[in-house]
Structures are given as C-alpha cells and as structure tokens.
Amino acid sequence: MSHVVTLSAKKILDSRGEWTIECTMTSSDGVMATVSVPQGKSRGSFEAVSIEPDKAMGIFKGIIEPALTGGEIALGGQAEIDKKLIALDGTPNKAKLGGNTTLAISLAYARLASHLARVPLWQGLKKIGQNEDAPLAFPRLFVNMVNGGVHAGSGLAFQEYLAIPVANRPSEAIPQVLAVYQKLKAILLERKGAGAINVGDEGGFTPQGEDEEEPFTFMKEAVVQAGFADQIEFGLDAAASQVNLLPHELLSLYTSIKEHFPCIYLEDPYGENDFAHFATVMKHMGHNTLIAGDDLTVTSVARMEEAQKQGSINAMVIKPNQIGTMTETFDAVRKAREFGWRVVVSHRSGETNDDWVSDLACAVNADGFKLGAPARGERITKYNRLLAIEREVT
Ligand code: PGA
Ligand code: ZN
C-alpha cells in the first residue's frame, strides 16, 4: 500500500493576479500529484472560510504535514483523509484551517490516488463519489458570455449571462459556443463600440448599460447568426446578494426575460438568505425553469435542507471550495439528487490553469457545468479537458 511521504504547499497566482494555494502530494512510490484551488469574488457569506495563502503555508507546515504524513493513499481512503481534515479543523466553516487549504489537500489526495490506481481523475472521482455504476454522461455547458455585477465594471446589475447548448457532447457543443462567442463579439463591437468587447473576470464581454435584458437581445442575434437557433438556450446568474433592486422589481425582470428569451436557468435570483423569495419565483416559473441556489446553498447540506423545507429551488450549484473537502462535495451532490434537484458543477471567477473541475462535472453526471467564455487560458483549459475526456471514452 502506498503512503504519503511529502505534502507541500506553495503560493501561486490566480487569474486575477491574487495569491492562491497549490498543493503537491508525493507517495512512497515516488508518484506525485499537484492541484490548485480557485477563489470566488461574489462569495456567499456562508461559504467555508478562505484564509490568506501566507497563513495557509504555516498551517501546512505546522498542522497538516505532521498529521497526514505516513497515511495510506487509495481511492477508498478519501473519506478517511477528509474526516481527519474536518477533525483537525474542528469548526463548522473551516475557520481554523481554511476551506481553501483543506480542499487543496483533499483534491491532491484524490488526484494522487487516481494516478496510483492508473485511472483518469474523472474515473477516480466517480469511485470516490460512489457513482461508479452510472455510465459517463457529459454535462450541458453553461457558458458565461456576458459579465456584469462584481465581475465587470459595466454597470449591469446581473453577474452572468449564460449560453447553454442543448447538445452535451463536448465536440458538438464547444464549436457552437465558439461560433456564438465570435458572432456576439462582432455584434457588440458594431452596436456598443470597442469598450464592449473587453472581457470580465470569466472571459465574457462587458457591454456598458443599465438595461438588464439587452445582453440577451445581442446573444439571441448571435445565436441566430451562428446558425444555432433552437440549439442554444439561455441562463442568468443574477447573484442578487450584490444587486440593489427590490424583490418585485427583480421578479418583473425575470418574468420579462422569460417572456422574451429561451431562458431555462435562473441562479441566485434573490439574496443569500431570502429562501422565501426564491420560493416565490419557484411558484412562478419553477415548472419550466431551473431555479438554482449558489450563494443560497453554498454546497452545504445544512443550507440545502433549509432550501428544501421552504421549496426554494429545484437545482443547485456545486463548488468544492464552498465546503472544503471532496467528501462533503459528494455528500451535497447525493443530497441534491435525493431532493430531485438538478446539479450544476461550477468553476470560480478567480481560476487557475488546473482543470480538475471538468473531471468533477463528468464524474458526478452533472446536468450542467458552468464555465467561462472561450477566452483566457484558465477558462480554455476547462474546455480542453472536456475534449480530452471525450477522446478518452470514445
Ligand atoms: P464567484 O462567481 O466565483 O466570484 O463566486 C461565480 C458565481 O457566482 O457563480
Ligand atoms: Zn453564482
């Protein structure tokens, strides 16, 4: 049996030029795995605490290395290592070690155990998440085409305007995304000027304006021009905790968007504690729209139970760094399935060039996978990994 011989951490830069954590784990057979963790900007206040990478370096040396060195590495050992991390932390929100620190170790372990088992990461994660029996299915892509809110300086209140191809095979969906993105760029340049084709944190364009529906108008045109009418639907992450509009103003905007565009997905339509207004929007459009919790649910089973009790959502976003370990991430996915919700695995706005989130989206048979526009290396790497996984299985 292989065991952990070294565990080291480094500070690296994320896509915003902010420090984040990279962790390398080495086994007794000399096999290594390195992972890095992303960081959010529109973070829910109930997310696991993210600690300063400088402080994390001290925690690695002083607490984690001594506790985990010598431990066995195997795909079947993930629950054990995550239990140890949770116990070492001892707080409900990873306040002592940091959810970013614990996730770096948890993921490095999963990647190293997969290497040792000679399987690709998605297959290792399938085993760890007890989803081995389900055949691999690719998620639909939820692509952030226009960035607003805190991810851009455009004046748009809503954070993410998403294009969602119906096709889920990466080699079919990705070329559609590329074509729509290029058409959208040309339309924005012509109608809104050169400033509109600058990109925000997730690679989406940043047209200035205060008409919250306008980006969808341009996206609709782009889809038609690209020749994919009826093959691409839309979604919106309002990230409403950061939006200064009254509940009735929000509802009339969502209703109007539904009327004019093929919008099938609405994420965080109200603030992160507003379970009741989520439930209202569910009553209005839950029958034909995915109403998803992100800041509301923060990948936490306790928050999910409250959302279920109040009938707030029928879908949820999964972000491992909101909770801090892979075991807890899989617990949240299982609970979402138990509730009959759709599952959307998501990247973060501050990303690295690591591509594990693509493997995760495939491993849990996610219904959707939120990723950036096809621009900037840290976004592109997620697309390339999906294409590689498709090649592995066909
Ligand atoms: P974040 O944004 O990574 O900045 O939190 C993504 C989201 O809200 O879905
Ligand atoms: Zn969100």
Neighbours of ion ligand 2 (CB under 5 A): 237, 294
Based on the domain organization, do 226 and 360 belong to the same domain? yes
Hey, what are 386's tokens? 């999906």
Residue 346 CA to residue 331 CA, distance in Å, equals 16
Pocket residues: Cβ below 6 A from ligand 1: 40-43, 159, 237, 239, 294, 346, 348-349
pLDDT at residue 42 in the model: 85
**Mean pLDDT for the stretch of residues 205-231:** 96
* Sequential DSSP letters for 157-174: SS-EEEEEES--SHHHHH
* Beta carbons within 10 angstroms of residue 221's beta carbon: 15
Give the pLDDT band (50/70/90) at residue 167.
very high
CATH code for the domain of 42: 3.30.390.10
Torsion of CA 366, 107, 16, 350, to 10 degrees: 30
pLDDT at residue 390 in the model: 98
pLDDT at residue 94 in the model: 98
Based on the domain organization, do 245 and 370 belong to the same domain? yes
pLDDT digit string, tens, across residues 87-114: 999 999 999 999 999 999 999 999 999 9
Task: Supply the pTM of this predicted model.
Answer: 0.98
pLDDT at residue 178 in the model: 98
Based on the domain organization, do 208 and 282 belong to the same domain? yes
Is residue 277 assigned to a domain? yes
Decide if 53 contacts 10 (C-beta within 8 A): no
CATH code for the domain of 257: 3.20.20.120
Give the pLDDT band (50/70/90) at residue 225.
very high
pLDDT at residue 54 is higher than 90 = yes
**Mean pLDDT for the stretch of residues 111-136:** 96
Give the pairing of strands 368-371 and 140-147: parallel
Is residue 135 assigned to a domain? no
Looking from the CA of residue 44, the nearest atom of ligand 1 is 5
Domain tally, the chain: 2
Single residue among 66, 93, 128 that ends a domain in this structure: 128
Catalytic sites, residue numbers? 202, 319
133 Cα–ligand 1 center, Å:
31
Beta-carbon contacts of residue 110 (< 8 Å; ≥ 6 apart): 75, 78, 121, 124, 125, 128, 326
Based on the domain organization, do 169 and 121 belong to the same domain? no
Single residue among 106, 128, 150 that ends a domain in this structure: 128
pLDDT at residue 126 in the model: 98
Is residue 47 assigned to a domain? yes
**Mean pLDDT for the stretch of residues 199-212:** 94
Is residue 133 assigned to a domain? no
Range of the domain at 340: 140-393
Decide if 313 contacts 74 (C-beta within 8 A): no
What are residue 71's phi and psi, to 5 degrees? -70, 150
- Mean per-residue pLDDT over the chain, rounded: 97
**Mean pLDDT for the stretch of residues 79-85:** 97
Looking from the CA of residue 267, the nearest atom of ligand 1 is 9
Please tell me the number of Cα atoms within 13 Å of 321 on its side-chain side: 26
pLDDT at residue 7 is higher than 90 = yes
pLDDT at residue 209 is higher than 90 = no
